[in-house]
Structure 1
Amino acid sequence: MSCWGSWANTMKLCPGYRFQLFYWDYVIGLLFGAILWGFTLGSTGSEGVSFVADLTKVHPYHLGMALLGGVIFNLANLLLVAAIDVAGLAVAFPIGIGLALVIGAISNYVINPAGNPLLLFGGIALVVAAIVMDALAYRLREKERRNAGSKGILLSLLSGVLMGSFYPFVSKAMFTSGASGPYAVAFLFVIGVALCALPANYLLMRKPIDGQTPVDFSGYVAAPKRWHLWGAIGGMVWCTGAVFNFVAARTHFVGPAVSYSIGQGATMVSAGWGVFVWREFAGTTSRIKLLLTFMFIFFLLGLCAIAAAPLFAGH
């Protein structure tokens, strides 16, 4: 949750770096992170199959599910990065990832039911309320600035629909008969991200969806080295969160629905960064601040209910 909610700060540390160029470094970081964890934590211990052995025996079905999950995630993440660029962390994450939490939790619960459904879906309802409050706060902020605030919300919503759809494929790669382990699935998932990023991000360079001019690759070559480093670190941080999330999902106590839902608590982390560190709502009215306050409260209550769902599974 902390990793998934913090990686986007690396974008903020690269002012003027177009998100399409940042994304190449981000994907490099994803690949490096998946390999690093595979050959360290994924290759130690006495239980399960080692990372390399797991990859050598992966079934085509599980391979396809992991790759497809990566492809869908990549499309969602590109839209999310664009939404962050347009609207900021405090808007893109609560709307996009909040919607993804709702879609992903429901679909994962259908595939592999685990946890108390009343707490799980009650928590989801609270998250939906928080999403609405954040969207209202954003629209009010944009009206004050005399900007058209619909693009940031639209990009966030599109990202959320796709982001909520990738995890069930990851679940199928890890939970069906003869499934691969979490480290192998994470690596294959990242390969899917990289394969999709090549044509998709190139297309966004030629036809940007953020309303700006087309992006030339010369900007990537000319970018400061620290920007490339921050982009790669962002990818590694996200990958670290994904690996730990996949490992947690494999445990019977937690399950994929709860693991995914808690992971999407990243929304609260990123919104906190956006509001309190990057000051994305600084100077706004008391009405907007009240909406943001209730957004945080509802999100926290929803996440607490979701986190408690495994503890009361039999009730």
Structure 2
Amino acid sequence: MFEVHNYFLAITLCFLAMVCWGSWQNTRNVIRQPWRFELFYWDFTIGILIFSLLSVFTLGSIDPSNRTFLQDIAQAQIRFMLPAMLGGFIWNLGTLLLTAGIATTGMAVAFPIGGGIGWILGIVVNYIGKPEGDPVWLFTGCAVIVVAIIHSMLSYKRRAVSQQKSTKGVIYSLAAGIFIAFFYRFVMMSISTDISPLYTGGALTPYTSVLFFALGALVSTLLFNPCFMRHPVEGERVAMKDYCKASGKTHLIGMLGGMIWCAGQVLSVMSANAASPAIAYGLSNGAPIVAALWGIVVWKEFKDAPKGTNRLLTLMFLFYLVGLALIVYSRYA
């Protein structure tokens, strides 16, 4: 398997992971026909599984001096497979709940609550699991990012014509943030730092862990997505017959979205040992700044926003960049 040793290479890969995690949503935007998220999510999950399989047989197997995927799976133990699957299971549930929160209470409320809790609490959880990096700089960076999230919320509020108000949506978002905060730590619990072919301790390489993560996400989708289809938070209920009506192109675009997200997961976990889990998670989860750039530059979401919105967006980007720089610096402070 390909191993990352250099800290700055790891940081670069985490930034690429951030781009992937902030870009997969665009695949939904390019689907021309109205396409409910619950239906899109089936293809999205399949795409995650496909890319995880590609990664274990390519990056996960290319260096024979390290453990290949087939060698890894032969020695893997269930006590390490399950945490990776649990990580995929709870991440997937958290993502579905965050989507429900956005649908019922609006982006301006749901994203800062769910995304903010998932990001900041996730950094804390991963730092406790493996305390590397100067905590003062690390958590100062987190605090600056909280300010950026607040500016993001204010920008969306200015753009919105009306704000939806729903206690249920806030609850969805709170639950989503908590689930998302813990998924990365479970994945890290499944990974071994020893990747030699002679290792027989049962823990997984980063690439094998992503495969079991994808299997956990698939199980979670099979359990929970039918519930969202039968009891949608907005619109009429949908069924699998609606999914089957879509064109092959629509399904391929959805799978591409899952593959892009999974590419980010692969890049993040393969860098976590060199960068530390807390830093890798914190940088990779800078996805909102990428998503905001797509929304502003490509999709023109703020074209008709009120006066003063551009100033808030500029401050949002500035605080994000400062916060991310502090997180990077915390390793060598």
> Is the structural similarity TM-score above 0.5?
yes
Deviation, structure 1 residue 79: 2.6
2:321 corresponds in structure 1 to: 300
AA in 2 matched with 1:280 = E
Which amino acid is the alignment partner of residue 148 of structure 1? Q
Partner Cα distance (1:160, 1:141) in 2: 24
- 1:112 equivalent in structure 2: 130
- Which one has the bigger helix percentage? 1
Distance 2:131 2:162 in 1: 46
Task: Give the aligned length.
Answer: 307
TM-superposed CA distance for 1:149, in Å, is 5.3
Shift in Å at residue 311 of structure 1?
2.5
CA distance in structure 1 between the partners assigned to 2:305 and 2:298 by the alignment: 15
> Structure 1 residue 148 and structure 2 residue 159: aligned?
no
> Which amino acid letter does the alignment assign opposite residue 30 of structure 2?
L
- Structure 1 window deviating more from structure 2 (99-108 vs 19-28): it is 99-108
Cα deviation per residue 1:202-236 (whole Å; 9 max; x = unaligned)?
10000012x21111222211112211011000111
Query: Conserved in 2, the CA contact under 8 Å of 1:95 and 1:157?
Result: yes
Mean CA deviation greater in 266-275 or 168-177: 168-177
Instruction: List gaps (5 residues or longer) in structure 1.
Output: none
Q: Deviations over 1:144-190 (max 9, x none)?
A: x1342557766554432221111111111115875211011000010
Structure 2 equivalent of residue 168 of structure 1 = 185
SS in 2 for 1:43: coil
Q: What residue number does 1:12 align with?
A: 29
Identity among equivalent pairs (%) = 40
1:247 to 270, 278, 289: 270
Q: 1:42, CA displacement in angstroms? A: 0.5
1:64-143 → structure 2 map (5 Å cutoff): 64-82=82-100, 96-142=114-160
Deviations 1:255-301 (A, max 9, x none): 11101111011121111112221122221112333222211111111
Distance of 2:80 and 2:123 partners within structure 1: 21
Partner of 2:246: 223
> Does the 8 Å CA contact 2:192/2:205 hold for their aligned counterparts?
no
- 2:248 corresponds to 1:232: no
* Letter in structure 2 aligned against 1:308: Y
CA distance in 1, matches of 2:83, 2:270: 17
How many Å separate the matches in 1 of 2:249 and 2:325?
Answer: 38
* Cα RMSD (Å): 2.3
Residue 229 of structure 1: SS of its match in structure 2?
Answer: helix
**Which residue is equivalent to 2:282?**
261
Query: Which amino acid in the other structure matches residue 186 of structure 2?
Result: F
Alignment of 1:165-204 (within 5 A): 165-175=182-192, 178-204=202-228
Q: Which runs of 5+ in 2 are unaligned?
A: 1-17, 194-200
Aligned positions of 1:273-284 closer than 5 A: 273-284=294-305
SS in 2 for 1:42: coil
Q: Could you tell me the TM-score, scaled by structure 1's length?
A: 0.90
Mark the CA change 1:269 to 1:96 in structure 2 (over 3 Å): closer, same or farther: farther
Distance 1:192 1:36, change over 3 A: same
